[in-house]
Structure 1
Amino acid sequence: MMNTLILLFHPDYQNSRANKALAEAACSRPGTTVVDMQALYPDGRIDGDVEVARLLTAERIVLQFPVQWYSTPPLLKAWQDAVLTRMFYIHYAAEGAKLAGRPLLIAATAGNVLEAYMPSGANLFSLRDLLKPLQATAHRCGLAWQEPFLVYDVRRTGADALEAAADHYVARLAQLETRQAA
Protein backbone atom coordinates (compact mmCIF):
# COMPACT_ATOMS: atom_id res chain seq x y z
CA MET A 1 0.00 0.00 0.00
CA MET A 2 1.07 3.56 -0.59
CA ASN A 3 0.34 4.66 2.99
CA THR A 4 -0.72 8.31 2.84
CA LEU A 5 -2.26 9.69 -0.34
CA ILE A 6 -2.60 13.46 -0.61
CA LEU A 7 -4.85 14.61 -3.43
CA LEU A 8 -3.98 18.25 -4.04
CA PHE A 9 -6.70 20.32 -5.67
CA HIS A 10 -5.30 23.77 -6.43
CA PRO A 11 -6.38 25.64 -9.57
CA ASP A 12 -3.11 27.64 -9.67
CA TYR A 13 -0.56 25.51 -7.85
CA GLN A 14 2.46 27.07 -9.57
CA ASN A 15 1.62 30.43 -8.00
CA SER A 16 0.61 29.04 -4.63
CA ARG A 17 2.80 29.76 -1.65
CA ALA A 18 0.92 27.99 1.12
CA ASN A 19 -0.29 24.83 -0.61
CA LYS A 20 3.08 24.47 -2.30
CA ALA A 21 4.89 24.73 1.06
CA LEU A 22 2.55 22.14 2.59
CA ALA A 23 2.79 19.73 -0.35
CA GLU A 24 6.57 19.98 -0.63
CA ALA A 25 6.99 19.32 3.08
CA ALA A 26 4.58 16.37 2.93
CA CYS A 27 6.64 14.83 0.11
CA SER A 28 9.52 14.53 2.55
CA ARG A 29 7.61 11.92 4.58
CA PRO A 30 8.33 8.34 3.57
CA GLY A 31 5.22 6.60 2.29
CA THR A 32 3.49 9.86 1.40
CA THR A 33 2.43 10.58 -2.16
CA VAL A 34 1.14 13.96 -3.30
CA VAL A 35 -0.87 14.02 -6.53
CA ASP A 36 -1.44 17.39 -8.24
CA MET A 37 -4.94 16.77 -9.54
CA GLN A 38 -5.11 20.00 -11.56
CA ALA A 39 -1.98 19.00 -13.47
CA LEU A 40 -3.49 15.56 -14.16
CA TYR A 41 -6.92 16.83 -15.15
CA PRO A 42 -6.59 20.40 -16.50
CA ASP A 43 -9.75 19.87 -18.57
CA GLY A 44 -11.70 18.58 -15.56
CA ARG A 45 -12.26 15.14 -17.07
CA ILE A 46 -11.54 12.72 -14.25
CA ASP A 47 -10.36 9.19 -15.09
CA GLY A 48 -12.53 7.14 -12.73
CA ASP A 49 -10.57 3.92 -13.18
CA VAL A 50 -7.27 5.58 -12.27
CA GLU A 51 -8.74 7.44 -9.30
CA VAL A 52 -10.54 4.41 -7.86
CA ALA A 53 -7.35 2.35 -8.11
CA ARG A 54 -5.38 5.17 -6.46
CA LEU A 55 -7.81 5.35 -3.52
CA LEU A 56 -7.92 1.59 -3.04
CA THR A 57 -4.14 1.47 -2.58
CA ALA A 58 -4.07 4.22 0.07
CA GLU A 59 -4.22 3.59 3.80
CA ARG A 60 -4.91 7.25 4.60
CA ILE A 61 -6.50 9.88 2.36
CA VAL A 62 -5.87 13.63 2.52
CA LEU A 63 -7.74 16.19 0.45
CA GLN A 64 -5.67 19.37 0.28
CA PHE A 65 -6.98 22.59 -1.22
CA PRO A 66 -7.45 26.34 -0.84
CA VAL A 67 -10.92 27.35 0.30
CA GLN A 68 -12.63 29.33 -2.47
CA TRP A 69 -15.84 31.18 -1.84
CA TYR A 70 -16.63 29.06 1.23
CA SER A 71 -16.18 25.82 -0.64
CA THR A 72 -13.77 23.51 -2.40
CA PRO A 73 -12.23 24.22 -5.81
CA PRO A 74 -14.39 23.05 -8.74
CA LEU A 75 -12.09 20.14 -9.62
CA LEU A 76 -12.53 18.62 -6.16
CA LYS A 77 -16.30 18.71 -6.61
CA ALA A 78 -15.93 17.14 -10.07
CA TRP A 79 -13.70 14.45 -8.54
CA GLN A 80 -16.30 13.73 -5.87
CA ASP A 81 -19.03 13.46 -8.50
CA ALA A 82 -17.01 11.16 -10.75
CA VAL A 83 -15.18 8.98 -8.24
CA LEU A 84 -17.25 8.87 -5.08
CA THR A 85 -20.55 8.54 -6.94
CA ARG A 86 -19.10 5.60 -8.81
CA MET A 87 -17.57 3.97 -5.73
CA PHE A 88 -20.46 4.44 -3.33
CA TYR A 89 -23.58 4.44 -5.49
CA ILE A 90 -22.74 2.34 -8.54
CA HIS A 91 -20.04 -0.14 -7.46
CA TYR A 92 -20.34 -0.12 -3.68
CA ALA A 93 -19.54 -3.79 -2.98
CA ALA A 94 -16.61 -3.95 -5.40
CA GLU A 95 -15.12 -0.51 -4.66
CA GLY A 96 -16.67 1.73 -2.01
CA ALA A 97 -16.96 -0.85 0.75
CA LYS A 98 -13.22 -1.47 0.50
CA LEU A 99 -12.50 2.05 1.79
CA ALA A 100 -14.50 1.62 5.00
CA GLY A 101 -12.73 2.96 8.04
CA ARG A 102 -9.84 4.63 6.27
CA PRO A 103 -8.98 8.03 7.75
CA LEU A 104 -9.83 11.14 5.77
CA LEU A 105 -8.01 14.36 6.61
CA ILE A 106 -8.89 17.71 5.09
CA ALA A 107 -5.96 20.12 4.75
CA ALA A 108 -7.35 23.51 3.78
CA THR A 109 -5.87 26.95 3.45
CA ALA A 110 -7.75 30.22 3.76
CA GLY A 111 -6.74 33.68 2.63
CA ASN A 112 -8.34 35.45 5.56
CA VAL A 113 -7.48 35.51 9.26
CA LEU A 114 -8.99 33.12 11.80
CA GLU A 115 -11.12 35.91 13.29
CA ALA A 116 -12.91 36.34 9.95
CA TYR A 117 -14.20 32.78 10.34
CA MET A 118 -16.35 33.40 13.40
CA PRO A 119 -20.04 34.27 13.86
CA SER A 120 -19.01 37.90 14.41
CA GLY A 121 -16.45 37.84 11.59
CA ALA A 122 -16.62 38.76 7.93
CA ASN A 123 -17.36 35.17 6.88
CA LEU A 124 -20.06 34.48 9.52
CA PHE A 125 -19.11 30.81 9.96
CA SER A 126 -16.08 28.94 11.19
CA LEU A 127 -14.01 27.18 8.57
CA ARG A 128 -14.85 23.90 10.30
CA ASP A 129 -18.54 24.65 9.79
CA LEU A 130 -17.96 25.48 6.14
CA LEU A 131 -16.27 22.07 5.73
CA LYS A 132 -19.28 20.16 7.13
CA PRO A 133 -20.36 18.96 3.64
CA LEU A 134 -17.02 17.12 3.42
CA GLN A 135 -17.58 15.67 6.88
CA ALA A 136 -21.02 14.46 5.77
CA THR A 137 -19.40 12.94 2.67
CA ALA A 138 -16.84 11.12 4.83
CA HIS A 139 -19.65 9.80 7.02
CA ARG A 140 -21.68 8.63 4.02
CA CYS A 141 -18.63 6.88 2.56
CA GLY A 142 -17.66 5.22 5.83
CA LEU A 143 -14.38 7.12 6.07
CA ALA A 144 -12.98 8.05 9.48
CA TRP A 145 -13.24 11.84 9.66
CA GLN A 146 -10.21 13.53 11.19
CA GLU A 147 -10.08 17.01 12.68
CA PRO A 148 -9.16 19.25 9.70
CA PHE A 149 -5.71 20.78 9.33
CA LEU A 150 -6.34 24.47 8.68
CA VAL A 151 -4.00 27.32 7.80
CA TYR A 152 -5.32 30.90 7.86
CA ASP A 153 -4.15 34.23 6.45
CA VAL A 154 -2.07 32.61 3.72
CA ARG A 155 -2.14 35.70 1.50
CA ARG A 156 -0.10 37.68 4.00
CA THR A 157 1.83 34.94 5.76
CA GLY A 158 5.61 35.25 5.61
CA ALA A 159 8.07 32.53 4.67
CA ASP A 160 8.86 31.63 8.29
CA ALA A 161 5.20 31.18 9.17
CA LEU A 162 4.63 29.07 6.05
CA GLU A 163 7.60 26.91 6.99
CA ALA A 164 6.16 26.49 10.48
CA ALA A 165 2.77 25.55 9.02
CA ALA A 166 4.48 23.00 6.76
CA ASP A 167 6.28 21.52 9.78
CA HIS A 168 2.98 21.27 11.64
CA TYR A 169 1.44 19.58 8.59
CA VAL A 170 4.18 16.95 8.48
CA ALA A 171 3.72 16.37 12.22
CA ARG A 172 -0.02 16.02 11.71
CA LEU A 173 0.52 13.47 8.94
CA ALA A 174 2.84 11.51 11.24
CA GLN A 175 0.20 11.67 13.99
CA LEU A 176 -2.43 10.38 11.58
CA GLU A 177 -0.21 7.43 10.73
CA THR A 178 0.57 6.71 14.40
CA ARG A 179 -3.10 6.83 15.42
CA GLN A 180 -4.08 4.43 12.70
CA ALA A 181 -1.31 1.98 13.65
CA ALA A 182 -2.42 1.94 17.30
Structure 2
Amino acid sequence: MTDTTLILCFHPDLGRSCTNRTLLESVKDLPGIDIVDLYGTYPSDQVDTRLEVQRLLSAQRLVLQFPVQWYSTPALLKTWQDSVLTRMYYIAYENEGRRLEGLPVMLVATAGNTPESYSESGSNGFDLEQLMHPLRATAHRCQWSWHEPFQVYRANKLSVAELDVIAIRYRARIKQFQHINAHKA
Protein backbone atom coordinates (compact mmCIF):
# COMPACT_ATOMS: atom_id res chain seq x y z
CA MET A 1 0.00 0.00 0.00
CA THR A 2 1.36 3.39 -0.94
CA ASP A 3 1.34 6.24 1.56
CA THR A 4 -0.95 8.69 -0.23
CA THR A 5 -2.22 12.10 0.77
CA LEU A 6 -5.28 12.74 -1.37
CA ILE A 7 -6.02 16.40 -2.15
CA LEU A 8 -9.50 16.86 -3.57
CA CYS A 9 -9.84 20.35 -5.01
CA PHE A 10 -13.37 21.68 -5.42
CA HIS A 11 -12.78 24.95 -7.29
CA PRO A 12 -15.42 25.67 -9.98
CA ASP A 13 -12.87 27.41 -12.22
CA LEU A 14 -9.40 26.32 -11.17
CA GLY A 15 -7.84 27.75 -14.32
CA ARG A 16 -8.84 31.26 -13.25
CA SER A 17 -7.94 30.86 -9.59
CA CYS A 18 -4.48 32.23 -8.88
CA THR A 19 -4.56 31.21 -5.23
CA ASN A 20 -5.92 27.64 -5.39
CA ARG A 21 -3.89 26.84 -8.50
CA THR A 22 -0.70 28.23 -6.90
CA LEU A 23 -1.30 26.22 -3.72
CA LEU A 24 -1.68 23.00 -5.70
CA GLU A 25 1.35 23.79 -7.87
CA SER A 26 3.43 24.25 -4.72
CA VAL A 27 2.84 20.65 -3.57
CA LYS A 28 2.32 18.64 -6.74
CA ASP A 29 5.95 17.45 -6.78
CA LEU A 30 5.87 16.09 -3.22
CA PRO A 31 6.06 12.30 -3.04
CA GLY A 32 2.80 10.61 -2.12
CA ILE A 33 0.56 13.50 -3.19
CA ASP A 34 -2.46 12.72 -5.35
CA ILE A 35 -4.27 15.88 -6.51
CA VAL A 36 -7.71 15.65 -8.10
CA ASP A 37 -9.49 18.63 -9.67
CA LEU A 38 -13.10 17.52 -9.09
CA TYR A 39 -14.73 20.19 -11.26
CA GLY A 40 -12.30 19.31 -14.05
CA THR A 41 -13.10 15.63 -13.57
CA TYR A 42 -16.87 16.14 -13.34
CA PRO A 43 -17.84 19.18 -15.46
CA SER A 44 -21.46 17.99 -15.52
CA ASP A 45 -21.50 17.61 -11.69
CA GLN A 46 -22.20 13.87 -12.03
CA VAL A 47 -19.84 12.18 -9.58
CA ASP A 48 -18.57 8.66 -10.32
CA THR A 49 -19.32 7.31 -6.88
CA ARG A 50 -17.48 4.02 -7.33
CA LEU A 51 -14.28 5.78 -8.46
CA GLU A 52 -14.44 8.31 -5.63
CA VAL A 53 -15.00 5.58 -3.05
CA GLN A 54 -11.89 3.80 -4.35
CA ARG A 55 -9.89 7.05 -4.15
CA LEU A 56 -10.88 7.47 -0.52
CA LEU A 57 -10.20 3.87 0.38
CA SER A 58 -6.69 4.10 -1.06
CA ALA A 59 -5.80 7.32 0.76
CA GLN A 60 -4.03 7.54 4.09
CA ARG A 61 -4.83 11.25 4.51
CA LEU A 62 -7.46 13.53 2.99
CA VAL A 63 -7.32 17.24 2.15
CA LEU A 64 -10.49 19.00 1.00
CA GLN A 65 -9.53 22.24 -0.75
CA PHE A 66 -12.10 24.80 -1.90
CA PRO A 67 -13.01 28.48 -2.10
CA VAL A 68 -15.61 29.67 0.40
CA GLN A 69 -18.71 30.62 -1.58
CA TRP A 70 -21.65 32.32 0.11
CA TYR A 71 -20.40 31.15 3.54
CA SER A 72 -20.29 27.54 2.44
CA THR A 73 -18.55 25.10 0.11
CA PRO A 74 -18.94 24.90 -3.67
CA ALA A 75 -21.93 22.83 -4.79
CA LEU A 76 -19.86 19.92 -6.11
CA LEU A 77 -18.39 19.28 -2.67
CA LYS A 78 -21.92 18.81 -1.31
CA THR A 79 -22.80 16.60 -4.29
CA TRP A 80 -19.64 14.56 -3.63
CA GLN A 81 -20.57 14.19 0.05
CA ASP A 82 -24.13 13.16 -0.79
CA SER A 83 -22.99 10.58 -3.32
CA VAL A 84 -19.78 9.18 -1.85
CA LEU A 85 -20.29 9.48 1.90
CA THR A 86 -23.92 8.37 1.79
CA ARG A 87 -22.83 5.19 0.05
CA MET A 88 -19.84 4.62 2.32
CA TYR A 89 -21.49 5.43 5.65
CA TYR A 90 -25.14 4.50 5.18
CA ILE A 91 -25.26 1.83 2.48
CA ALA A 92 -21.91 0.03 2.71
CA TYR A 93 -20.58 0.99 6.14
CA GLU A 94 -19.15 -2.38 7.11
CA ASN A 95 -17.21 -2.81 3.86
CA GLU A 96 -16.31 0.82 3.14
CA GLY A 97 -16.99 3.50 5.76
CA ARG A 98 -15.62 1.50 8.68
CA ARG A 99 -12.33 1.16 6.78
CA LEU A 100 -11.84 4.95 6.97
CA GLU A 101 -12.17 5.32 10.73
CA GLY A 102 -9.31 7.52 11.92
CA LEU A 103 -8.60 8.99 8.46
CA PRO A 104 -6.72 12.27 9.00
CA VAL A 105 -8.61 15.11 7.28
CA MET A 106 -7.68 18.75 6.77
CA LEU A 107 -9.59 21.58 5.09
CA VAL A 108 -7.95 24.18 2.90
CA ALA A 109 -10.35 27.11 2.54
CA THR A 110 -9.72 30.24 0.52
CA ALA A 111 -11.84 33.33 1.12
CA GLY A 112 -12.00 36.60 -0.75
CA ASN A 113 -12.43 38.87 2.24
CA THR A 114 -10.11 39.87 5.10
CA PRO A 115 -9.68 37.97 8.39
CA GLU A 116 -11.33 40.90 10.19
CA SER A 117 -14.44 40.52 8.03
CA TYR A 118 -14.70 36.91 9.18
CA SER A 119 -15.37 37.71 12.83
CA GLU A 120 -18.35 38.32 15.06
CA SER A 121 -17.88 42.08 14.71
CA GLY A 122 -16.92 41.92 11.01
CA SER A 123 -19.12 42.27 7.96
CA ASN A 124 -19.58 38.48 7.68
CA GLY A 125 -20.54 38.03 11.35
CA PHE A 126 -18.81 34.65 11.71
CA ASP A 127 -15.26 33.38 11.53
CA LEU A 128 -14.26 30.76 8.97
CA GLU A 129 -13.96 28.09 11.67
CA GLN A 130 -17.64 28.57 12.51
CA LEU A 131 -18.65 28.42 8.87
CA MET A 132 -16.83 25.09 8.53
CA HIS A 133 -18.74 23.42 11.39
CA PRO A 134 -20.84 21.28 8.99
CA LEU A 135 -17.65 19.78 7.57
CA ARG A 136 -16.26 19.23 11.05
CA ALA A 137 -19.54 17.50 11.97
CA THR A 138 -19.19 15.33 8.87
CA ALA A 139 -15.65 14.36 9.89
CA HIS A 140 -16.91 13.56 13.38
CA ARG A 141 -19.76 11.43 12.00
CA CYS A 142 -17.34 9.56 9.73
CA GLN A 143 -14.91 9.11 12.65
CA TRP A 144 -12.14 10.91 10.79
CA SER A 145 -9.29 12.60 12.63
CA TRP A 146 -9.81 16.38 12.30
CA HIS A 147 -6.77 18.61 11.78
CA GLU A 148 -6.56 22.37 11.92
CA PRO A 149 -7.68 23.92 8.61
CA PHE A 150 -5.36 25.95 6.42
CA GLN A 151 -7.10 29.23 5.63
CA VAL A 152 -6.23 31.90 3.09
CA TYR A 153 -7.89 35.32 3.18
CA ARG A 154 -8.06 37.97 0.44
CA ALA A 155 -7.49 35.11 -2.00
CA ASN A 156 -8.38 37.12 -5.07
CA LYS A 157 -6.45 40.21 -3.93
CA LEU A 158 -3.05 38.79 -3.01
CA SER A 159 0.09 40.22 -4.55
CA VAL A 160 2.56 37.85 -6.18
CA ALA A 161 4.88 38.24 -3.17
CA GLU A 162 2.07 37.47 -0.71
CA LEU A 163 0.99 34.47 -2.77
CA ASP A 164 4.56 33.16 -2.81
CA VAL A 165 4.73 33.33 1.00
CA ILE A 166 1.37 31.57 1.35
CA ALA A 167 2.47 28.86 -1.10
CA ILE A 168 5.59 28.25 0.99
CA ARG A 169 3.46 28.02 4.16
CA TYR A 170 1.03 25.66 2.41
CA ARG A 171 3.80 23.37 1.19
CA ALA A 172 5.26 23.23 4.71
CA ARG A 173 1.81 22.50 6.16
CA ILE A 174 1.15 19.69 3.67
CA LYS A 175 4.58 18.19 4.40
CA GLN A 176 3.75 18.35 8.11
CA PHE A 177 0.36 16.72 7.45
CA GLN A 178 2.11 13.94 5.51
CA HIS A 179 4.01 13.01 8.68
CA ILE A 180 0.84 12.32 10.61
CA ASN A 181 0.46 8.59 11.14
CA ALA A 182 -0.97 7.17 7.97
CA HIS A 183 -4.49 5.86 8.09
CA LYS A 184 -4.64 2.08 7.87
CA ALA A 185 -7.36 0.95 5.48
Report which stretch shifted further, 162-171 or 54-63. Answer: 162-171
| Cα-to-partner distance string for 1:76-100 (whole Å, 9 max, x where unaligned) | 0000000001000100000000011
After the TM superposition, which segments of 4 or more aligned residues of structure 1 sit over 4 Å from their partners? Answer: none
Counterpart mapping for 1:29-108 below 5 A:
29-108=30-109
Separation of aligned partners in 1, 2:109 and 2:27 = 14
Question: TM-score, normalized by length of structure 2?
Answer: 0.96
Letter in 2 for 1:106: L
Please say if 1:12 is aligned against 2:16: no
Which residue does the alignment assign to 1:3?
Answer: 4
Please say if 1:147 is aligned against 2:119: no
Separation of aligned partners in 2, 1:116 and 1:180 = 35
Q: Secondary structure at the match of 1:125?
A: coil
RMSD: 0.9
CA contact (8 A) 1:9 1:63 kept: yes
The Cα of 1:6 is off from its aligned counterpart by 0.1
Which residue does the alignment assign to 1:174?
Answer: 175
Q: Secondary structure at the match of 1:147?
A: strand
Separation of aligned partners in 1, 2:58 and 2:28 = 17
Separation of aligned partners in 2, 1:157 and 1:48 = 36
Residues 40, 130 of structure 1: alpha-carbon distance in 2 compared, 3 angstrom cutoff: same
CA contact (8 A) 1:26 1:34 kept: no
Letter in 2 for 1:169: Y
Q: Secondary structure at the match of 2:116?
A: helix
Question: TM-score, normalized by length of structure 1?
Answer: 0.97
Report which stretch shifted further, 39-48 or 1-10. Answer: 1-10
Higher helix fraction (1 or 2):
1
CA contact (8 A) 1:2 1:33 kept: no
Separation of aligned partners in 2, 1:73 and 1:2 = 28
**5+ long unaligned stretches in structure 1:** none
Separation of aligned partners in 1, 2:181 and 2:128 = 25
Separation of aligned partners in 2, 1:126 and 1:151 = 12
The Cα of 1:137 is off from its aligned counterpart by 0.1
Q: Secondary structure at the match of 1:115?
A: coil
Please say if 1:127 is aligned against 2:121: no
Separation of aligned partners in 1, 2:166 and 2:181 = 22
Separation of aligned partners in 2, 1:33 and 1:25 = 13
The Cα of 1:2 is off from its aligned counterpart by 4.7
The Cα of 1:159 is off from its aligned counterpart by 1.0
| Cα-to-partner distance string for 1:49-68 (whole Å, 9 max, x where unaligned) | 10000001100000000000
Q: Secondary structure at the match of 1:180?
A: coil
Length, aligned pairs only: 181
The Cα of 1:166 is off from its aligned counterpart by 1.2
